[in-house]
Amino acid sequence: MNIAKKLILFLLPISACTHAQEQNKNNQKMSTSFEINKSEEEWRKILSDEEYYILREKGTERPYTGKLLNNKEEGLYSCAACGNELFNSDSKFDSHCGWPSFYAEKAKGKITYVKDTSHGMIRTEIMCSKCGGHLGHVFDDGPEPTGLRYCVNSVSIKFTPIKK
């Protein structure tokens, strides 16, 4: 097989995956409206580069690098973009997946669930219901009482400790 054919066979899956991810992003932006609607330029002004990449471009931080992964303090986890209260610390658990994990959202309606077909997988993306920021994904392999594992990027959330 010549070098050109090998290169095409190598790049084709990468191109298809990138196209699927971009198509998925476009579908989600068109199909969901949120209480807070800012332009991408406005988001760029208020978010750090890393926050923008994860919250607005649906990126992912490297596993085991997030500052909130091993946080054991009591408190509240909110959306880093808009402050929407998402998770209580009592629902946080160590799932050994490399990202902060929770088994329940703080209250029904805090999180929007969207089918994610990027990267050749079928998953459920979780987004802040107030601003549409990408938080991570939810899986059905968590502990009781819900059986869910909300796998969240540390960059997409802020922690506020309970004042005693």
Residue 117 near residue 127 (C-beta atoms within 8 A): no
Quickly list DSSP for 8-60. Answer: HHHHHHHHHHHHHHHHHHHHHHHH---S----HHHHHHHS-HHHIIIIIT---
Which pair of structure tokens corresponds to residue 41? 């330029």
Which among 123, 142, 126 has a CA at the least distance from the CA of 134?
A: 126
Does the annotation count 151 as an active-site position? yes
79, 128, 131, 151: which is the annotated catalytic residue? 151
Q: Which residues, in sequence order, are CB contacts of 20 under 8 Å at separation 6+?
A: 117, 118, 119, 120
Which among 136, 152, 134, 35 has a CA at the least distance from the CA of 89?
A: 152
Residue 100 near residue 69 (C-beta atoms within 8 A): yes
- Give the residue numbers annotated as catalytic, written as ranges: 151
